[in-house]
Structure 1
């Protein structure tokens, strides 16, 4: 195969990589523009200049170090979007602590696994959010809290955890036994603490600084471990694709616990001196529209369903969105009619599309502000700077010709440090030549544009959340009446995909859909609870006994009258 016809591409290298830590780079940005607005949290009514954000971050870094934490220790953040989240992101990077993102949708079994897997010594959490009682779940896991002093927790089920701080809201009364207020934790630090600067000097760009959990094909999620160099540079090049400057104001309604919020959002802004704007703690279309108008935002992020919810809101026409220019739509494919409406009705003429995975910090491919509309909809753009990508035959590993389908692989600065405490899984994902094997099926056209066409394994993407059926199956196996279970994804017009579980009940037992859902409630995240549950006597199998999930999917699609193309 001629090299020019191979599905291989290498990104530009004219803009050099950042070889500083997040803390050092942020401090340099503050020195350049101390009085420019850095952060607006609309729902909290709080604003920070770059200098003020630096002072608060230094104070929190000081507090964390004074609490007994040492560089390399893991500190969890279990929260929706707020000021405390971004302070934790910057402060932990300055103190050499590894920030562990805990999904706010997690329930008891999942948070117990996550905190123990990486050995979290401290956790900052919301008190509650809607139906989620975070402190209640922690007390269920650690009843010892009732008799503990902050910093002295000794819990049988959470053996590494020593301190919990809850993000208190102004005017929100009541004390929580054994749990420290975040405001008190912050007050215990000193913005001018010399130790923060001393620790910063000992850190290197290649040090692990963040752990994000990705759904595993077996068991519970794996902890993708990312470095300063990984995520800081990815934020830089993402912002470059959007042509961000210090005059831009980016509205970020996507969650910070995910790379979309903390890298494509926070770090894209902080690497360009732009303003971070949070419209609310959780997504609400009306709040986003109000925020864009009030804050004169120039950028807006979201998954396609978020943009659809804003466009279809009954009050949409009331708002002036004329300041919008750019942003990122990612998480699932965008229908061309939706993209046309976003460009026309929301003034997002330079919106971009991004593709990646947590293990690659996350973005490997992105369209630019001047990518033709048809390419922005039909592809995920071209290779990012300082990265290599290739599409290979999953069986042989050989690079396929342009236009042919194969597994998407990427290599370069963005590839994770590894899965936390799991060298075996790391070696399965990253080969000896440091290529990350994504498991996604893709094609590359003659111009280098990449199209993601499916997944080698049966991962389900529901509303931008990656779910592996095996994780749900292993959880449902715990039910005393379940003999066997298979989970697949079915196409859904609202969320992209929905989960379906086929269940074989143990002989002599009876089981209902409501019982299965009740078993899931409070134990696994709501988006992992199957929407469709069917009780069957057997699964379709090959002659060798291998279960044919595609047959389950085909039958459900036919029974429910769904569109057959799961990846559309």
Structure 2
């Protein structure tokens, strides 16, 4: 097994050749064709100044073109920097500036937006390439261009940086999680091993490619095992069910809400799901009834829950043979190459099985660190190489993990992590706003949504509609608070920290 992404692209072409690598919207691409298009696109990047170690920002939804453009970044010897397709131009411009990106590839028109024009308004000097133009540019690559690209690809080592994925942090500004090639490859290999993935699988990828799960547990897995991947740009239950039946899909990872959407769709009763065999879910406790429905109604033979984060993509997984209760109430046990521990959040002392405390992770999957932020890296990864996750959990005597709470204030809206500090920082820039605190509150459809408590300078300040409109200009939709409550002051302790527990208690139904 190659320990670099370019090596995987090359090896997959040699091993799987004309077998289907991707199929989407009537278009198919074999592994051999994927390799050819990737290296030609890498030649385009090199003509735009992408040298070893340079950063390529990719702002686009799931598509075959995303895969080609993303893999070409590392094939050229560069580093891939995916941007959330729902981000605003302001958020993408910040990523471009912080990574000093040599090339910015943008898909125009997603969700009816004008991404390129909007980005150029806030970042006029950004080196933008329209994703739709890359194919024509790549076709012009000659033998000398390809030879230069191959030399760059062969020079990539397992310890080189493969990707930088931005994950919002509690400081209020997204952090760039830096990962080496060997780690990205190992994440896909570990997950695929537990999932018993083979070249006969047909894999429906709903997770966004800009997310570590869509990229490393989607694209990388496909290269490793030769399974055909069917990406979705936006989840639609009826469309997903149609694909499951027509393409004989075998694998579907996703949050619990994805599977509930399939089961509750009016189209479900008339859909043949007999080819399904492997489901992977997680991110929260999963009702035992849902696990049973996945097995009984969706015909999955293997249902696995897992735990991971951008800083450590795959940490724990359940295994074949685990009981339904274990699968539903735990995140499994550590995968090969990883260790788990529970520590007292105040003293750092490791606690015995059955004790509740902060989850620590150590091993091959833990990130290299945060981009240009040694202080945050040192805070996250201690001297003994343990990653402090900020999640509260319990390990049983067999090492199975149960997440019970969060030390951090993060909440999950529609499957996306939202960090209140980032939202608060954006809203405090609005004229007339003095103070802001944001919490997550339950939502039947999205799991949790944001509620902002806003202190205005006076009653003539911004109203609820203008606060939400301002947020929509600056933040991705999933980060925008759905509810605004104006208060005279925020509750704080003697050290000035906002008492968010009091806000949560006051917002309980």
Return the TM-score normalized by structure 2: 0.96
Q: 1:167 aligns with which of 131, 154, 160?
A: 131
Q: 1:502 to 1:71 in 2, by over 3 A?
A: same
Report whether the alignment pairs 1:237 with 2:220.
Answer: no
Q: 1:92 to 1:511 in 2, by over 3 A?
A: closer
User: Aligned partners of 2:21, 2:462: CA distance in 1, in Å?
Assistant: 54
Match of 1:25 in 2: 8
User: Aligned partners of 1:545, 1:203: CA distance in 2, in Å?
Assistant: 49
Q: Give the CA RMSD over aligned residues.
A: 1.6
Q: 1:496 aligns with which of 440, 447, 451?
A: 447
Report whether the alignment pairs 1:70 with 2:70.
Answer: no
CA offsets per residue over residues 40-71 of structure 1, 9 Å max, x none? 12x2x211222121111121122222332111
User: Aligned partners of 2:264, 2:189: CA distance in 1, in Å?
Assistant: 33
- In the TM superposition, residue 32 of structure 1 has moved relative to its aligned partner by 2.2
Match of 1:60 in 2: 41
Match of 1:189 in 2: 141
What SS does the corresponding residue of 1:306 show, helix, strand or coil? helix
Contact 2:338 2:361 in 1 (8 A): yes
CA offsets per residue over residues 158-188 of structure 1, 9 Å max, x none? xxx32x22233xxxxxxxxxxxx22223223
Contact 2:45 2:103 in 1 (8 A): no
Contact 1:326 1:369 in 2 (8 A): no
Q: 1:312 to 1:524 in 2, by over 3 A?
A: same
Q: 1:520 aligns with which of 471, 475, 481?
A: 471
CA offsets per residue over residues 365-395 of structure 1, 9 Å max, x none? 1112332211111000110111111111111
Once the two structures are superposed, the pairs formed by residues 180-329 of structure 1 within 5 Å of their partners are 181-190=133-142, 193-278=146-231, 280-329=232-281
Contact 1:58 1:190 in 2 (8 A): no
User: Aligned partners of 2:399, 2:362: CA distance in 1, in Å?
Assistant: 16
User: Aligned partners of 2:392, 2:299: CA distance in 1, in Å?
Assistant: 33
Contact 1:108 1:524 in 2 (8 A): no
User: Aligned partners of 1:71, 1:188: CA distance in 2, in Å?
Assistant: 22
Return 5+ residue gaps in structure 2 as ranges: none
What SS does the corresponding residue of 2:474 show, helix, strand or coil? coil
Contact 2:453 2:487 in 1 (8 A): yes
User: Aligned partners of 1:190, 1:244: CA distance in 2, in Å?
Assistant: 37
**Relative contact order, higher structure (CA 8 A, sep 6+):** 1
CA offsets per residue over residues 65-119 of structure 1, 9 Å max, x none? 2332111111011111101111123222221111101001111221111111111
What SS does the corresponding residue of 2:165 show, helix, strand or coil? strand
What SS does the corresponding residue of 1:370 show, helix, strand or coil? coil
Contact 1:332 1:461 in 2 (8 A): no
Q: 1:457 to 1:479 in 2, by over 3 A?
A: same
Contact 2:339 2:363 in 1 (8 A): yes
What SS does the corresponding residue of 1:222 show, helix, strand or coil? strand
- In the TM superposition, residue 331 of structure 1 has moved relative to its aligned partner by 3.4
Match of 2:369 in 1: 418
Q: 2:20 aligns with which of 37, 42, 54?
A: 37
What SS does the corresponding residue of 1:521 show, helix, strand or coil? helix
User: Aligned partners of 1:448, 1:97: CA distance in 2, in Å?
Assistant: 38
Contact 1:332 1:463 in 2 (8 A): no
- In the TM superposition, residue 38 of structure 1 has moved relative to its aligned partner by 1.5
Match of 2:329 in 1: 378
User: Aligned partners of 1:331, 1:448: CA distance in 2, in Å?
Assistant: 18
Q: 1:340 aligns with which of 273, 281, 292?
A: 292
What SS does the corresponding residue of 1:522 show, helix, strand or coil? helix
- In the TM superposition, residue 327 of structure 1 has moved relative to its aligned partner by 2.8
- In the TM superposition, residue 303 of structure 1 has moved relative to its aligned partner by 1.2
CA offsets per residue over residues 190-240 of structure 1, 9 Å max, x none? 488111221122211010011111111113201101111111011001001
User: Aligned partners of 1:504, 1:131: CA distance in 2, in Å?
Assistant: 34
User: Aligned partners of 1:481, 1:293: CA distance in 2, in Å?
Assistant: 54
Return the TM-score normalized by structure 1: 0.86
Q: 2:94 aligns with which of 100, 113, 134?
A: 113
User: Aligned partners of 2:494, 2:35: CA distance in 1, in Å?
Assistant: 64
- 101-110 vs 28-37, which moves further: 28-37
- In the TM superposition, residue 263 of structure 1 has moved relative to its aligned partner by 1.0
User: Aligned partners of 1:365, 1:253: CA distance in 2, in Å?
Assistant: 21
Match of 2:61 in 1: 80
Q: 2:359 aligns with which of 383, 405, 408?
A: 408
- In the TM superposition, residue 433 of structure 1 has moved relative to its aligned partner by 1.9
Match of 1:99 in 2: 80
User: Aligned partners of 1:430, 1:399: CA distance in 2, in Å?
Assistant: 15
- In the TM superposition, residue 545 of structure 1 has moved relative to its aligned partner by 4.0
- 366-375 vs 477-486, which moves further: 366-375
Match of 1:8 in 2: none
CA offsets per residue over residues 240-264 of structure 1, 9 Å max, x none? 1100011111111111110111111
CA offsets per residue over residues 271-324 of structure 1, 9 Å max, x none? 12221112x321111111111111111101211111111111111112111000
CA offsets per residue over residues 342-385 of structure 1, 9 Å max, x none? 2211112302112111011x110111233221111100011011
Contact 1:303 1:330 in 2 (8 A): yes
Report whether the alignment pairs 1:399 with 2:350.
Answer: yes
Q: 1:106 to 1:318 in 2, by over 3 A?
A: same
User: Aligned partners of 2:285, 2:90: CA distance in 1, in Å?
Assistant: 31
